[in-house]
Chain A
Amino acid sequence: MFVFLARRLMSGFVLVAVVGSLTFVTMSLSGTDPVRNLLGENATQEQVDARAAQLGLDRPLPERYLDWAVSAVQGDLGTSWVNNASVSQVIGQRLPVSLSLVIASTLVTALVSVALGIAAAVRKGFLDRLVQVLAVAGYALPNFWVALVLVSFFAISLRLLPATGYTPLTTDPGKWALGLVLPVAALAIGTIASTTQQVRAATVDVLEHDFVRTLRSRGLPSRSIVGVHVLRNAAGPALTVLSLQFVALLAGTVVIERVFALPGVGSMVVSSATAGDLPMVLGIVTVMVVVVVVVNLLVDVATGWLNPKVRAR
């Protein structure tokens, strides 16, 4: 188990390093184009060159990379090209917003999908068909569109929930939760649809195993067979699916934060991309990959713990 964890940790570290470096290098290879994007179409070549020199882009790539990498490891992701703010600080302020959105959505997805997926596999019939329809709907409707429909219905027509904005948890937990209801609903509906499908498939798969028949032959009630044995065996595949969904949810914040005007890293990456703020985008990409790596590590630990073959090592 220890060796397994150490390997995972190493591989996660390498992943962050590779993605960070690759992004840095690809973004730097295009020379002064980013500066032109930054200054707009009308800037003269002199203006572009001057700004590039000011940003240190005239230095050789290996040197710039080394600088960036060394500071990045120390937690300094550089300064914004647009307003000279510290990238690390901006991310530090905005990350909690995005994380509360994504974690809440992941939890909602996990609870709803596991309950629905297992119920659909065991009960079949109407519930099963409902889950299939839900899956197609959740998959076909873009989350930002769902978000807009939710806003126009619950916030504009019914005035039940706030349409936009974010209240920090520390300011007012009630408002914080209320403000997250619509974004989480919009973000989670798609992941719930696909996760439920996969949990259902995993459960059907477990139910077809011979050992389920043997458990029934021992006279155990089906409540405990499903609740103990089926749940435990379907948990591994479900966790793996959830870890992939987490990445999808993280990407989803880009769109959802814009609709609900939430001050997270997702909306930041959009505005930075449009403004051509390279260090900011690079910093956000790196931090997001770190988050994904940490989550994958946690999932690996959990699946390893669930799987006796891994645990025994």
Chain B
Amino acid sequence: MTPKSQPGLGRRLLRNPLAVGSVTVLLAIVLAALLAPVLTSWDPSQASAREILLPPGGEHLLGTDSAGRDILARLLHGTRFTLLGAVLVIGVAFVIAVPAGMIAGYFGGRIDAALSWISDLLMSIPNLVIVLAFITVLGPRTTIVMLIFGVLFAPGTYRLTRSATRAVRRELYIDAAQVSGLSDLRIIRRHVLRRVRSPLMIQASIAAGVAIVLQSSLDFLGVGDPRDPRWGQMINDAFLNIYRAPLMILWPGLAIGITVAALALLGSALRDEIEATSSRRGRSARVRPQAKPTDPAEGLLTIRGLRIAYGEVEVVHGVDLSVQPGEVLGVVGESGSGKSQTLFAALGLLSPGGRITEGAAWVDGQPVAWPGSPDSAVTALRGRTIGYVPQEPMANLDPSFTVGHQLVEPLRHHLKLSRSQARLRALELLKRVGIPDPERTFSAYPHQISGGMAQRVLIAGAISCSPRLLVADEPTTALDVTVQAEVLELLRGIQKDEGMGMIVITHNLGVVADICDRVAVMQNGQVVENGSVRDVFARPQHSYTKMLLASTLEGAASRVQLDSEAAR
């Protein structure tokens, strides 16, 4: 069985100019290290009292240092030590951290707590200082210093591995593998390792850069092994002669800079390509801005010929919708039908990358959205004329602020209420949406209230400035059935009391039957049927509507009936 964890990652990298560029530079650096004796005939440690601090040019291409040694030769030979050191550091860090991180992330519990504590401990020690402490005792032995650096680098890799493993651990396919009878070791090998691999590749390239910088810091301080040519030592030499030969500082700095930058860019190219699979839709289509539409529109909300595209992909293909004051419209369809996108577009709330390419929307006869329309066309109406109730109640309250704060903010902004007036009004609203103890909920944080409660709070927020149109996007989908019934009852009551127009976006035909006057059925970005709920449900015209109504399970044959039919 050939593992194909990232199909085409290699090929994708070949098409990424940043990746190709950085890999080319790194290959050149490795070659320079390997071929150092061939590339220059000078001995990097051969001192010459007569050729001290020669300027670049002539026999010594980059000049000589304070001991008369050829700078180019020292640079090329120094590459070897730099690369070897980096490989050693990364090797040690990975050998320690990857298994530890996978164990901690997979099993959790006490072993996780213990390993994470050790990792935190190592992280709070300033790395250069502890290495200097070891040098005090052991003397400047490169290999040992690199081993210690490796240990000090382990926490970063450990944290990364652990969190990636924890993320995989939550996936249901790990549960499925356990149920299939796979041993934990086999699950880690087959499922966890694959997922941890790509973040570790990024981590390796970035950590290698940091290792190179730290290693040269030590050499710069003069505590590294003095026998070999080192980039850090060369900077130290330049530092000591900065008044006599200021140019000398340039070469080793460039060497370090180029090597580390190439590693960093490789890491970022890897990240781009690995993460690209999940989010490729960010690029937005180019839209020719059009003039503000001048044709009049009646009704509370009117949408005409609306087309929406993400990148090059059109997701809504010319939709017409309208709502009259005091009317409840249901927009029903399955996932991907474009029902939410259509209304987000009218509210100016499309996700980044989404654009209206044709058509327009009017609220109260005022154009609010058209191709290239400015956000200002609709901001003034949001909150005041149009209220919005979202789908996932818990995700739609800011976890860092109290419920009260989030209710008071728009009240003060739109209605210019004083702090105490806004507070009173917010408490009234909480009472209106049926919250038993408004004072307590007012000062609660979102995590302290239930999902049903949160949805009531969001409804309170949506109606706080008495809008004339309420747009509810799947307002009950995330709720339990019993809570759903309560929230529908609440929406119905508020709609009647305020005489608002309302749009309910839903996939549930029962919700439409419960609360809507009219319904628009959407499929693949188009409205396929539109009419009064009673007519459409009793006499569906379009085959898609018929199919939807036929697949509903409420009132369909039960298992017992199915079995007796099959027996016949």
In-complex A–B contact (CB below 8 Å) = yes
| CA A277 to CA B347, docked complex, whole Å | 70
Contact indicator B221/A255 (Cβ below 8 Å): yes
Contacts of A144 in B (CB 8 A): 217, 220, 235, 239
Contact indicator B136/A229 (Cβ below 8 Å): no
Residues A214 and B458 in contact in the complex (CB < 8 Å), given A33-B137, A273-B132: yes
| CA A289 to CA B123, docked complex, whole Å | 10
Binds A, one of B1-9, B374-382, B485-493: B374-382
Residue of chain B at shortest CB distance from A291 = B126
Which residues of chain A from 246 to 289 have a CB within 8 Å of any chain B CB?
247-248, 250-252, 254-255, 258-259, 266, 269-270, 272-274, 276-278, 281-282, 284-285, 288-289
Sorting the interface of chain B by its residue count into under 10, 10 to 19, 20 to 34 or 35 or more gives: 35 or more
- Residue from A136, A143, A229, A259 within 8 A of B265 (CB atoms): A136
Binds B, one of A55-63, A72-80, A180-188, A217-225: A217-225
Contact indicator A269/B401 (Cβ below 8 Å): no
| CA A177 to CA B287, docked complex, whole Å | 53
Residue of chain B at shortest CB distance from A309 = B447
Contact indicator A273/B135 (Cβ below 8 Å): yes
A-contact bits for B357-399, CB 8 A (1 contact / 0 none): 0000000000000000000000111111011101110011111
A-contact bits for B294-307, CB 8 A (1 contact / 0 none): 00000000000000
Contacts of B239 in A (CB 8 A): 144, 148, 259
Contact indicator B132/A278 (Cβ below 8 Å): no
Contact indicator A247/B132 (Cβ below 8 Å): no
Contact indicator B217/A156 (Cβ below 8 Å): no
Residues A217 and B388 in contact in the complex (CB < 8 Å), given A148-B239, A156-B243, A289-B124: yes
| CA A173 to CA B332, docked complex, whole Å | 70
Which residues of chain B from 385 to 444 have a CB within 8 Å of any chain A CB?
386-388, 390-392, 395-402, 409-410, 413-414
A47 located at the interface, meaning its Cβ lies under 8 Å from any Cβ of chain B in the complex: no
Which residues of chain B from 222 to 278 have a CB within 8 Å of any chain A CB?
222-223, 232, 235, 238-239, 242-243, 246, 249, 252-253, 256-258, 260-261, 264-265, 268
Contacts of B125 in A (CB 8 A): 19, 247, 285, 288-289, 292
B130 located at the interface, meaning its Cβ lies under 8 Å from any Cβ of chain A in the complex: yes
- Residue from A217, A282, A288 within 8 A of B347 (CB atoms): A217
- Residue from A148, A220, A277 within 8 A of B409 (CB atoms): A220
Residues A218 and B382 in contact in the complex (CB < 8 Å), given A152-B242, A233-B398: yes
Residue of chain B at shortest CB distance from A244 = B123
- Residue from B124, B232, B235 within 8 A of A292 (CB atoms): B124
Contact indicator A220/B138 (Cβ below 8 Å): no
Residue of chain A at shortest CB distance from B407 = A218
A151 located at the interface, meaning its Cβ lies under 8 Å from any Cβ of chain B in the complex: yes
A30 located at the interface, meaning its Cβ lies under 8 Å from any Cβ of chain B in the complex: yes
| CA A144 to CA B413, docked complex, whole Å | 51
Contact indicator B128/A148 (Cβ below 8 Å): no
Contacts of A6 in B (CB 8 A): none
Contact indicator A270/B132 (Cβ below 8 Å): yes
Contacts of B137 in A (CB 8 A): 26-27, 30, 33-34, 37, 278
- Residue from B235, B261, B391 within 8 A of A136 (CB atoms): B261
Contacts of A229 in B (CB 8 A): 398, 400-401
A15 located at the interface, meaning its Cβ lies under 8 Å from any Cβ of chain B in the complex: yes
Contacts of B135 in A (CB 8 A): 273
| CA A270 to CA B235, docked complex, whole Å | 17
Chain B at the A interface: SS class? helix
- Residue from A224, A285, A312 within 8 A of B448 (CB atoms): A312
Residue of chain B at shortest CB distance from A254 = B128
Chain A at the B interface: SS class? helix
Contact indicator B136/A217 (Cβ below 8 Å): no
Residues A148 and B129 in contact in the complex (CB < 8 Å), given A30-B137, A211-B395, A229-B398: no
Residues A282 and B133 in contact in the complex (CB < 8 Å), given A152-B246, A218-B409, A255-B220: yes
| CA A232 to CA B261, docked complex, whole Å | 33
Contact indicator A211/B223 (Cβ below 8 Å): no
Contact indicator B395/A219 (Cβ below 8 Å): no
Residues A219 and B396 in contact in the complex (CB < 8 Å), given A145-B256, A229-B401, A273-B135: no
A23 located at the interface, meaning its Cβ lies under 8 Å from any Cβ of chain B in the complex: yes
Which residues of chain A from 1 to 60 have a CB within 8 Å of any chain B CB?
11, 15, 18-19, 23, 26-27, 30, 33-34, 37
Contact indicator A145/B235 (Cβ below 8 Å): yes
A137 located at the interface, meaning its Cβ lies under 8 Å from any Cβ of chain B in the complex: yes
Contacts of B139 in A (CB 8 A): 33, 37
| CA A221 to CA B221, docked complex, whole Å | 53
B-contact bits for A117-142, CB 8 A (1 contact / 0 none): 00000000000000010011101111
| CA A169 to CA B239, docked complex, whole Å | 28
Contacts of B458 in A (CB 8 A): 214
Chain B nearest CB: distance from A191 CB in Å?
A: 12
Chain B nearest CB: distance from A62 CB in Å?
A: 19
Contact indicator B388/A232 (Cβ below 8 Å): no
Contact indicator B253/A141 (Cβ below 8 Å): yes
A-contact bits for B30-64, CB 8 A (1 contact / 0 none): 00000000000000000000000000000000000
Residues A149 and B249 in contact in the complex (CB < 8 Å), given A15-B124, A217-B347: yes
Which residues of chain A from 181 to 235 have a CB within 8 Å of any chain B CB?
209-211, 213-221, 224, 228-229, 232-233
Contacts of A15 in B (CB 8 A): 120-121, 124
Residues A139 and B264 in contact in the complex (CB < 8 Å), given A219-B382, A296-B124: yes
A293 located at the interface, meaning its Cβ lies under 8 Å from any Cβ of chain B in the complex: yes
Contacts of A174 in B (CB 8 A): none
Can you pick out 8 interface pairs between chain A and chain B where the beta carbons lie within 8 Å of each other?
A15-B124, A135-B264, A139-B206, A141-B257, A214-B458, A224-B409, A233-B398, A312-B448
**18 additional contacts, CB 8 Å, given A144-B235, A308-B402?**
A15-B120, A37-B139, A132-B268, A140-B258, A142-B232, A144-B239, A148-B242, A148-B249, A214-B390, A217-B347, A217-B462, A218-B388, A219-B410, A247-B124, A251-B128, A254-B126, A259-B239, A292-B126
Q: Which of A's residues lie within 8 Å of B, judged by CB?
A: 11, 15, 18-19, 23, 26-27, 30, 33-34, 37, 132, 135-137, 139-145, 148-149, 151-152, 156, 209-211, 213-221, 224, 228-229, 232-233, 244, 247-248, 250-252, 254-255, 258-259, 266, 269-270, 272-274, 276-278, 281-282, 284-285, 288-289, 292-293, 296, 306-309, 312
Q: Which of B's residues lie within 8 Å of A, judged by CB?
A: 117, 120-121, 123-130, 132-139, 206, 209-210, 213, 216-217, 220-223, 232, 235, 238-239, 242-243, 246, 249, 252-253, 256-258, 260-261, 264-265, 268, 347, 349, 379-384, 386-388, 390-392, 395-402, 409-410, 413-414, 445, 447-448, 458, 461-462, 465
